[in-house]
Homo-oligomer: A and B are copies of this chain.
Amino acid sequence: MTSDRGCKVVVMGGGSSYTPEIVEGLIGRAEELAVREVWLVDIPDGREKLEVVGGLARRMVERAGKQFEVKLTLDRREALPDADYVVTQIRVGGIAARIKDERVPLAHGMIGQETTGPGGFAKALRTIPVMLDICRDMEELSPGAWLINFTNPSGIVTEAVTRHTSTKVVGLCNNAINMERWIAREYGVEPEELFIEFVGCNHLLWVNRVFRRGMEVTDDLLGKVEASGEWAPGLIESLRAVPCGYHHYYYQGDEMLAKLQKGAAEGKPTRGEQIIEIEKELFNLYRDPDLAEKPEALSKRGGALYSEAAVRLMSSIHNDRRDIQCVDTTNRGALSDLPAESVVEVSCVIGGDGPRPLTVGPLRPELRGLLQQVKAYEELTIEAAVRGDRQAAVQALVANPLVPSVGAAKAVLDGLLEAHAEYLPQFGGEWTRQARSVAPGRC
Contact = CB atoms under 8 A, between A and B. Distances in A.
Interface of A: 1, 193, 195, 197, 199, 208-209, 211, 213-216, 219, 231-235, 237-240, 251-255, 317-320, 322-324, 331-334, 336-337, 339-341, 349, 351-353, 356-366, 368-370, 372-377, 379-380, 390-392, 394-395, 398-399, 401, 404-408, 410, 435-436, 438-439, 441-443
A244 to B, nearest CB: 15
A16 to B, nearest CB: 29
Contacts of A253: 404-405
B369 A399 contact: yes
B333 A211 contact: no
B407 A252 contact: yes
B399 A366 contact: yes
Contacts of A359: 331-334, 356-359
A340 to B, nearest CB: 6
B410 A232 contact: yes
Contacts of A368: 372, 376
A430 to B, nearest CB: 15
Q: What is the interface of chain A mostly: helix, strand, loop, or mixed?
A: mixed
Contact of A369 (B232, B352, B363, B377): B377
B317 A360 contact: no
A213 B407 contact: no
Contacts of A351: 195, 211, 214
B442 A364 contact: yes
A260 to B, nearest CB: 14
A255 to B, nearest CB: 7
Contact of A341 (B233, B238, B318, B441): B441
Contacts of A238: 390-392, 394-395, 398, 436
A357 B322 CA distance: 14
B214 A320 contact: yes
A332 B391 CA distance: 26
A405 B251 contact: yes
8 contacts: A216-B353, A232-B406, A232-B410, A238-B394, A332-B359, A333-B362, A349-B349, A366-B399
Nearest to A439: B364
B357 A358 contact: yes
Among A211, A356, A359, A375, find the residue whose CB has the most chain B CB atoms closer than 10 A.
A359
Q: Which 5 A-B pairs have the closest CB atoms?
A: A214-B352, A369-B376, A1-B214, A214-B320, A332-B361
Contacts of A231: 406
A239 B436 CA distance: 10
B362 A443 contact: yes
A213 B379 CA distance: 34
Given A195-B352, A406-B251, A442 B391 contact: no
A118 to B, nearest CB: 15
A405 to B, nearest CB: 5
B334 A1 contact: no
A156 to B, nearest CB: 13
